[in-house]
Amino acid sequence: MLVVFIYGPAASGKHTIGELLSSKLGLPLFHNHLTVDLVSTLFEFGTDDFINLRANIWLQSFAAAAQAQQSFIFTFHPEKTVQEDLLPRLQQIIEDYDGAVQYIELVCPDEEVERRLPNSTREQFGKLRDVELYKQLRKAGQLDFSALPDAHLQIDTTRLSAEEAANAIEQHLASNS
C-alpha cells in the first residue's frame, strides 16, 4: 500500500500533477481541497472546529484506506492551520498497515505562484486566487509549516510541465518499488 503525498505552495501544480499521475497509475486522487471545501460548509477556515474536523477527516480517510490496502495520491498545501503533529500521525497510520508514504515536494518561486494564482482553473475548488491576499498571508507567516517531512523527490514546477512532472514522479516510484 502506497500513499503518494504531493505537497507544495499554492498554484505549484499539486492538483494538475495529481490528476495526471492518478490517470497514469490508476490510483485515486484524494485532493486536499475536497476536505477543505467540505469542512468550510460548516466552519470558518482556521477556526478550532475547522482545524479539528479537517484533521479527523484526514485521519479517518488514511485509516480506512490503509485498512483496505488502498493506495492513493494525496495533495497537501502546507500552512499554519494544520496541526504540527498531523503529518507524522498520518504516516504512522499507513506504516501500521505495512504501507509506505512517498513525499513529493513541488517547488515554485513566489513570483510564479503570483502569476498562476488568478488562473480561472483555480475557481473549481474555491482555491486562493487573490495575489494581494497571498502576499499578506505569506508576510504574516500563515503559509509557514515547519513540520514538513523530507521529500523523496523534489520537482521545480517552473522547469517541468505538469506532464513531465507526473512522468518524473512515475519514474521515481517505479525505481523505488
- The CATH number of whichever domain residue 30 belongs to comes to 3.40.50.300
Contacts of 162 (CB under 8 A, 6+ apart): 13, 16, 17, 20
Q: What is the dihedral of CA 101, 30, 26, 4, to 10 degrees?
A: -20
Question: pLDDT by residue (tens digit) across 145-163?
Answer: 677 889 999 999 988 999 9
Would you state the pLDDT for residue 64?
Answer: 98
Residue-averaged pLDDT of the chain: 87
- CA 117 to chain CA centroid, Å, is 16
Please tell me the total count of domains within the chain.
Answer: 1
69: containing domain:
2-175
Question: pLDDT by residue (tens digit) across 97-127?
Answer: 999 999 999 988 878 766 665 565 656 656 5
C-alpha cell at 94: 499507513
Tell me the pTM.
0.88
Q: What one-character DSSP code corresponds to residue 151?
A: P
Question: pLDDT by residue (tens digit) across 22-51?
Answer: 999 999 999 988 898 899 999 998 999 999
Of the candidates 27, 32, 110, the residue with the CA atom closest to the CA atom of residue 70: 27
More confident residue, 81 or 11: 81
Q: What percent of the chain has pLDDT over 70?
A: 82
Question: What's the pLDDT band for 20 if we cut at 50, 70, 90?
Answer: very high
- Look up cell 508576510; give the residue: 139
DSSP states of 76-120 as a string?
E---TTS-TTHHHHHHHHHHHTT-EEEEEEEE--HHHHHHHTT-G
